Structure 1
Amino acid sequence: MDLATLRKIAKEELKGYCRVCPVCDGRACAGEAPGMGGMGTGSAFGVNLAALGAYHLNMRTLHDVKSADTSLTLFGRPLTMPILAAPMTGVAYNMGGRLTERDFIGRIIDGATAAGTLGCCGDGADPAMFDSGLAAIAAQNGHGIPFIKPRGQEAVLALLKRAETSGAAAVGMDVDGAGLAVMALKGQPVSPKTPAELAACVQATTLPFIVKGIMTPDEAVIAFDAGAAAIVVSNHGGRVLDHTPGAAAVLPAIARAVAGKGVILVDGGVRSGADVLKYLALGADAVLVGRPLVVGAFGGGAEGVAFLLQQLQAQLAAAMVLTGTASVRDVSPAILSPRPGL
């Protein structure tokens, strides 16, 4: 498999819903949500890349790091890399509908598993979205993480129990989906959660609980105080609120506020292994990758997803050696050089 062929096929299959741009920065698809773009002006999509671009890597080659260890353990699962497939749904109205929900998420989960990491699945107005994700995870012996929208409490609790039956490694709630209008239009409203409601959800499951959509230090503290095992620093790919800051801009303060309390994940704008290393240096334990893997799934199936994840892993390893970083479990912030003016 080669990248040029994968991208060519994906562009045809995605039917214009994703242009498969040379640089996936949200400019061509601004405001296309539903679709693959960011909400409104698309600012919150593009700013994720800009926030990462505000940091440079300090190159060092006079050291004893000859090879890099990209492996780690998350939620009791040994992984080859600190790179997970982000939860994504809505194939029909976001990606053109050439695949079914089950086909799409199967390619994501299977590809992530083949690459030695975890794939996540999502929730949406159509029950087939969550059902398909659970089926894909169960087919891989629980090697995946389902995320639930911030629905009413009873609905959330019911989906938590179903997640447990899939054997999933963990379960999450993307609280950043609280503003998704399409859910309300389909008669399944979502809304913010109070700290007490969040704690009740965490306590209702035996699985490690992940809160996705944290963008401020105080809400990171609330999530861990509620019993969460992990958070995802994320602005939902810029798809729910225009004009938010980029994840890389807020991650350091969040990491300082909750150091030692649990796992810190992050997503938004990862396009290379160097981006992964930057996020680790800013305080994350691992990252989630979304839109690039849509191209992998449509352009090359599960093999395409695995191919892109392994490419990111190889780029990460190369960047680690050239910054004197031996392990992803111990990345120093000293490898970063903020761009002048920061």
Structure 2
Amino acid sequence: MGSMSYTELVEAARGQMGICKACPVCDGKACGNHIPGPGAKGTGTVAIRNYEAWQSVLLRMDTIHKPYVPDTSVTLFGHVLSLPVMVGPLGDVNRHYGPKFDMETYNDVMLRGAAGAGTLGWTGDGLSASLHEGACRAISSLDGCGICTIKPWSKDVVRDKLRLALAAHPVAVAMDIDGAGLPFLKGQQPPAGPKDVSQLREIAKACHAADTPFVLKGIMTERGAEKALKAGADGIVVSNHGGRVQDGVEATATVLPEISRAVGDDLVVLVDGGIRTGADVFRALALGASAVLMCRPFVVAMYGGGEQGVRDFLGQLRGELADAMEMCGAETVSDVTDDLVSW
């Protein structure tokens, strides 16, 4: 059986994803503010803004160059990826996308699909302790080929979850520092909330003692990025959580250039939010990201094609990125610089 295009994966997934309508283009418009479900908070417009901001970044073609096969590989945290795209974390697939996969199966299949395509999946975290435990087991079974995310719980809960995560020897441990804004975590047990620089420094130290990089996800300002650096983070994800934690915020594409200029020499800068095609990946690289995370489209790909669906979509993204690189005169990922786009 040949590989399936994203369009075919969408068709296969439609009707079995709960509130998600498996739209041909995941632009945030159909799901609006549906939470549970894949929607955004409040007016539901931040996810739409994320998507549209990338579309306003225009590629500048230059096809007068020697013939080459574009090299889409990138090295992150000492790990070589076949393309600068990783599968973003998801905390509760049943709650938001329907019963086809339980969380442990979802993580197993997603991580294997990503690893099989030469890249990494990120696992999520949630109210049930079993979500994180299963994620750590799945990463451990792949010899650590994944990145484990922990929410900003209370100190004791973070300590216990961190111990489990580090025992799985992941490529990195992340904390989605903005996770306390998720509507379904408000007033719940265990409690989640903000962390200051000194609290984050303790977490970073524990990671570094285990030779594991620490990444802070949910950075949206230059000031926040500089605090992440002071806290000892090795990387950040420029992210507004797909609009799910706060309404009325800027698009990630809008803030990425200033954040990258501020800390890009000292931190690995990643980005997510509304990235849907290889051309969008090219845009993110040009604006200063080392790689991107994508989540919602991979859920669709998995509901439509399982592990092979994840691989097929990653293959499509890699091909689209390579096409953009060839058409714009970039032989390697590091050649994709801001002079190759206009915005």
| TM-score bucket (shorter structure) | over 0.9
94, 100, 106: which one aligns with 1:104: 106
Aligned residue for 2:123? Answer: 121
Matched, 1:324 2:329: yes
Aligned residue for 1:262? Answer: 267
Following TM superposition, the consecutive aligned residue runs of length 4 or more in structure 1 with deviations greater than 4 angstroms are: none
Retained in 1: the 8 A contact 2:157–2:190?
Answer: no
- Paired residue type of 2:87: A
Aligned residue for 1:8? Answer: 11
How much identity, in percent, do the aligned residues show? Answer: 42
Aligned residue for 2:283? Answer: 278
Deviation (angstroms), 1:235: 0.3
- Paired residue type of 1:119: G
Deviation (angstroms), 1:66: 2.2
Retained in 1: the 8 A contact 2:153–2:192?
Answer: yes
Q: Which runs of 5+ in 1 are unaligned?
A: none
Inter-partner Cα distance in structure 2 for 1:213 and 1:270:
16
TM-score, scaled to structure 1: 0.96
Matched, 1:94 2:99: no
Deviation (angstroms), 1:334: 0.4
Retained in 2: the 8 A contact 1:265–1:286?
Answer: yes
Inter-partner Cα distance in structure 1 for 2:74 and 2:27:
29
Deviation (angstroms), 1:11: 1.2
- Paired residue type of 1:322: M
Deviation (angstroms), 1:12: 2.6
Deviation (angstroms), 1:6: 2.2
RMSD: 1.2
44, 47, 54: which one aligns with 2:46: 44
What are the residue-to-residue correspondences of 1:227-306 with 2, within 5 Å? 227-306=232-311
Deviation (angstroms), 1:259: 2.7
Retained in 1: the 8 A contact 2:238–2:270?
Answer: yes
Inter-partner Cα distance in structure 1 for 2:302 and 2:227:
35
Deviation (angstroms), 1:8: 2.2
Retained in 1: the 8 A contact 2:270–2:293?
Answer: yes
Deviation (angstroms), 1:65: 5.1
Deviation (angstroms), 1:13: 2.0
Structure 2 residue matching 1:303: 3-state secondary structure: helix
- Paired residue type of 2:239: S
Retained in 1: the 8 A contact 2:139–2:168?
Answer: yes
Retained in 1: the 8 A contact 2:4–2:309?
Answer: no
What are the residue-to-residue correspondences of 1:100-249 with 2, within 5 Å? 100-205=102-207, 206=210, 207-249=212-254
Change (3 A) 1:65 1:325: farther
Alignment size in residue pairs: 337
Retained in 2: the 8 A contact 1:31–1:39?
Answer: yes
Deviation (angstroms), 1:185: 4.5
Change (3 A) 1:65 1:51: farther
Retained in 2: the 8 A contact 1:65–1:325?
Answer: no
Change (3 A) 1:89 1:65: farther
Deviation (angstroms), 1:161: 1.4
Change (3 A) 1:264 1:65: farther
State the Cα deviation string for residues 247-266 of structure 1 (Å, max 9, x = none): 00000000111131020000
Deviation (angstroms), 1:64: 2.1
Retained in 2: the 8 A contact 1:157–1:204?
Answer: no
Retained in 1: the 8 A contact 2:178–2:241?
Answer: yes
Retained in 1: the 8 A contact 2:179–2:245?
Answer: yes
- Paired residue type of 1:10: A
Structure 1 stretch displaced more, 128-137 or 79-88: 128-137
Aligned residue for 1:73? Answer: 75
Retained in 2: the 8 A contact 1:150–1:192?
Answer: yes
Aligned residue for 2:64? Answer: 62
Retained in 1: the 8 A contact 2:42–2:247?
Answer: yes
Inter-partner Cα distance in structure 1 for 2:139 and 2:128:
18
Structure 1 stretch displaced more, 327-336 or 303-312: 327-336
